[in-house]
């Protein structure tokens, strides 16, 4: 078993979309051999393109993190809209939230990370986070 994997994003094969209008999809979890959480990268070829289809995570009970690496994205979250610019993160901690995202500009790049509901125990020293509030 490989103990680590390094790949340039440009070398990661993309998933062929079922529709010509699908964004580029880099299946990082699969290519890097990750088994404990999901991680994918989506890149829009045009403004207005759907990056995340409308869905919820009730069945999987997973929480998801969305990080805009380039461009801007509009999210719809249970009927409310949120605009994320480059460098902004969105955490959806309640699996029942209906969500979708579309690119506001060509080249919008969205990193998506998801994991199950089992409690994560950090190995970092808790004092590092003493002055950092949680929602």
So what's the pLDDT on residue 113?
97
Burial class (CB in 10 A: 0-12, 13-18, 19+), 122: exposed
Give 118's contacts (C-beta < 8 A, 6+ positions apart): none
Are 115 and 38 a contacting pair, CB within 8 Å? yes
So what's the pLDDT on residue 122?
74
pTM above 0.85, yes or no: yes
Per-residue pLDDT of the chain (135 residues; tens, 9 = 90+): 689 999 999 999 999 866 778 999 999 999 999 988 999 999 999 999 999 999 999 999 999 999 999 999 999 999 999 999 999 999 999 999 999 999 999 999 999 999 987 877 777 788 877 887 878
Rg (C-alpha) for the chain, rounded Å, is 16
Put residue 107 in one of left, alpha, beta given phi > 0 → left and psi -120 to 50 → alpha. left
Please give the mean pLDDT across all residues of the chain.
92
So what's the pLDDT on residue 18?
65
Question: How confident is the model over 59-85, as pLDDT tens digits?
Answer: 999 999 999 999 999 999 999 999 999
Any idea what DSSP says for residue 14?
A: P
So what's the pLDDT on residue 1?
67
């Amino acid at each position: 078993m490989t103990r680590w994997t390094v790949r340039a994003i440009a070398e990661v094969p993309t998933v062929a979309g079922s529709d010509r209008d699908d964004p580029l999809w880099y299946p990082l979890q699969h290519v890097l051999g990750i088994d404990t959480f999901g991680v994918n990268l989506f890149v829009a070829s045009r403004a207005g393109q759907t990056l995340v289809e409308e869905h919820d995570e009730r069945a999987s009970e997973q929480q998801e993190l969305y990080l805009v690496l380039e461009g801007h994205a509009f999210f719809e979250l249970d009927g409310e809209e949120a605009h994320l610019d480059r460098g902004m993160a969105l955490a959806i901690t309640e699996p029942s939230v209906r969500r979708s995202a579309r690119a506001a500009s060509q080249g919008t790049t969205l990193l998506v990370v998801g994991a199950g509901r089992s409690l994560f125990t950090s190995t970092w020293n808790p004092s590092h986070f003493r002055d950092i509030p949680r929602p």
